[in-house]
Structure 1
Amino acid sequence: MFEREITERVSLTDADGGLNPAALGWTRTPLHDTSAIPGRGHWGRNKRWEYWGVMTPSHIVSLTVSCIDYLSLHSVWVLDRATGEAIDATVLSPGGRSATLPASLGDGPARARTKKVSLDIDEVEGATRLRGTAPRVSFDIIADRPAGHESMGVVVPWRRGDRIRRFQYTVKDVARPAHGTLTIDGAAHHLPEGSWAVLDHGRGRWPYQVWWNWAAGSGIVDGRVIGLQLGSKWTDGSGATENAVVVDGKLSKISEELVWDYDSSDWMKPWHIHGERADLTFTPFYNKHSRTNVLVISTRTDQLFGTWSGWVLDAADERVTVDGIEGWAEDVLNRW
């Protein structure tokens, strides 16, 4: 599969609000101007979000600020890895008044303001600051961006016949070293060394129903910082993938639709993701299972947290071992 690398600033949309053909491709640093999303004439199909997942040796934290036109969804989720106790605070609010989202990645803060959940995502010098409060929980986490660190951005088109009616721009930024404080029931937990943050930034116009896989991993193997980013189903047949590996901040794009083998009747069995350029096993230790069914919104998520092993080929066709890095793999069906 050939995927074009974009190296200059480009608008995601054209003058009429449709997908700009020049935006099709991938980047190693955010270059897409997404300021025309949501835009007129597409109400109900515009999806905008910032999701961060932070894995530490003791806890897992995730936060979401999002708006899908007719409602906003904001969430904070925390898992104590020692006890297995999870704290979940999710708020659905009508319209977009509770959400502040930048026009393009890095152009400004992301914020959520509700009675139950308050979130602030701010770009600071060489890092992103993640702050939030929810019942029983607060946090102030810094996700460092080391000099020269690269992230994977890609535009995925969905075609109907010869026309591209729906499309998504995503940035997946893995292996961001994290530090800061997580407070649970008044007890402060300082993030230890070996804590990692991952960003999922999304802007696009989606069909009503989408099924996807997403997987990520971060850690240190043989003295090198390894970041793994994989996706499937929602990109199949589009001519684009969201597969990549990052080694010491340098990104290699994996332009292959990998095969995902897993058992949906037993999510905790090891997952096998493989192809010509990768042979990976993911061994879960926890399943974050959730369902939402509110009016026109219906979601089913199984997000498995666990440990990776195996290898991928980088841009120089050298094997990159990922044994021992931690992350997640998920299966999600959304009607939204």
Structure 2
Amino acid sequence: MQREMRPGALLDDRGRLIEPGWAKSEVRQYQRAAVAAHPLRIKEWDYYCVLTPDHGIALTVADNGYLGFLGVSWMDFRRRKASNGGAAVRWPMGRMAMPESADHGDIVQSHDGLSLAFRHEPGGRRLTIDAPRFRGGLGLSGELWLDQPPMDRMVIATPFAGAPKAFYYNQKINCLAASGEIRIGDQRARFDPGSAFGVLDWGRGVWTYRNTWYWGSASGLVDGRRVGFNIGYGFGDTSAASENMLFVDGVAHKLDRVTFHMPPGAPDSGVWRFSSNDGRFTMIMQPIVNRHHATNLGLFKTAQDQVFGLFSGEVRLDDGTALSIRDLPGFAEEVRNRW
């Protein structure tokens, strides 16, 4: 069953999800003040990932209740290397003032020598980074512009069985053509809109303590058309909707269930395969590099394997049209959290 949500508030007066389901725009309004759970349990984040065939960058600002985080990751696909940097924020519990909408409200944060700004401007988004301590003082800085014309996105509201105050409201905006420059030490990396595309992962919710998710995303040009997809599963009660969706020239095409078939060894040791129960998504991903990150602070523990690679396969649109994809840059990940 794939239930499309109607416009309205996200939560009722008891802080419970009114309507689980999916949408192609921000039809439900999130308000932190309406959440009934303790502030320690609220998780809010904005995550951007921008990829080219040669390199990529990922930026995170997250308020996870008892721990906040600013993150910067750089991927060099030619050298098959990934580097992580970040700054922790103790006990933010809402002090990071994360916007209640993916469509307005800026994020400007600076902690422990790392500064990130995500700003809305007419026609798109501007990302600014200054991380002088990145990679042992080599430093990373720059600015990217993400073009966002009117287009569909993946929106989903997911409840958690047995936890009535828990929910996850998520938006994924694919196919954001990127332009700008990132400086790493004395090296400069260009992002050109013909070959650089980003995705925004906007998440707000109350999570259960232990969970695992699988997520995949890719965006780029296929025969001159903007093509992307979002796939994922692993947590919550998804009986009302999955988060699987294709995008072609700004139009969403809803998929049902997608399954990840990971290689038996290390996450980047072999080809990842993907299948769907509706037969509309058949894909492989050839790994390039695994961005591994693990943190164990007792109460808070995370283990992340985000494998970047090239997707090839075939998808079918809502009208049955087949679309072949070859070497589309993207990633697939397995994340295990105790938070």
Scaled by the length of structure 1, the TM-score of the pair is 0.92
Q: Distance between the aligned counterparts of 2:236 and 2:227, measured in 1?
A: 23
Q: What does residue 208 of structure 2 align with?
A: 207
Cα deviation, residue 40, structure 1: 5.0
Q: Distance between the aligned counterparts of 1:237 and 1:87, measured in 2?
A: 33
Q: 5 Å matches for 1:1-336?
A: 1-6=1-6, 8=7, 10-21=8-19, 24-36=20-32, 39-96=35-92, 99-134=96-131, 135=133, 136-146=139-149, 148-160=150-162, 164-192=164-192, 193-235=194-236, 237-254=238-255, 256-268=256-268, 269-275=270-276, 276-336=279-339
The amino acid that maps onto 1:318 is T
Gaps of 5+ in 2: 134-138
Contact preservation (8 Å) 2:14, 2:36: no
The amino acid that maps onto 1:169 is Y
Q: Distance between the aligned counterparts of 1:300 and 1:247, measured in 2?
A: 33
Q: Distance between the aligned counterparts of 1:56 and 1:12, measured in 2?
A: 35
Runs of 4+ in 1 over 6 A off after TM superposition: none
Select between 124-133 and 82-91 the one with higher mean Cα deviation: 82-91
Contact preservation (8 Å) 1:292, 1:300: yes
Contact preservation (8 Å) 1:26, 1:155: yes
Select between 243-252 and 222-231 the one with higher mean Cα deviation: 222-231
Q: Distance between the aligned counterparts of 1:35 and 1:25, measured in 2?
A: 18
SS in 1 for 2:161: strand
The amino acid that maps onto 2:124 is A
Q: What is the RMSD of the two structures over their aligned residues, measured on CA atoms?
A: 1.8
Q: Distance between the aligned counterparts of 2:197 and 2:263, measured in 1?
A: 28
Cα deviation, residue 236, structure 1: 6.2
**CA 235–175 in structure 1, closer or farther in 2 if over 3 Å, else same:** farther
**CA 263–235 in structure 1, closer or farther in 2 if over 3 Å, else same:** farther
Cα deviation, residue 221, structure 1: 1.3
**CA 38–113 in structure 1, closer or farther in 2 if over 3 Å, else same:** farther
Q: Distance between the aligned counterparts of 2:140 and 2:33, measured in 1?
A: 32
Gaps of 5+ in 1: none
Cα deviation, residue 219, structure 1: 1.3
Cα deviation, residue 46, structure 1: 0.8
Question: Cα deviations across residues 247-291 of structure 1 (Å, max 9, x unaligned)?
Answer: 01111111x222221125232211111022211111111111111
**CA 86–277 in structure 1, closer or farther in 2 if over 3 Å, else same:** closer
Q: Distance between the aligned counterparts of 2:327 and 2:211, measured in 1?
A: 31
Select between 104-113 and 30-39 the one with higher mean Cα deviation: 30-39
Q: Distance between the aligned counterparts of 1:201 and 1:116, measured in 2?
A: 24
**CA 236–263 in structure 1, closer or farther in 2 if over 3 Å, else same:** farther
**CA 292–153 in structure 1, closer or farther in 2 if over 3 Å, else same:** same
Q: Distance between the aligned counterparts of 2:38 and 2:304, measured in 1?
A: 26
**CA 84–98 in structure 1, closer or farther in 2 if over 3 Å, else same:** farther
Contact preservation (8 Å) 1:37, 1:103: no
SS in 1 for 2:25: coil
Cα deviation, residue 243, structure 1: 0.2
How many residue pairs are counted as aligned between the two chains?
328
The amino acid that maps onto 1:19 is L
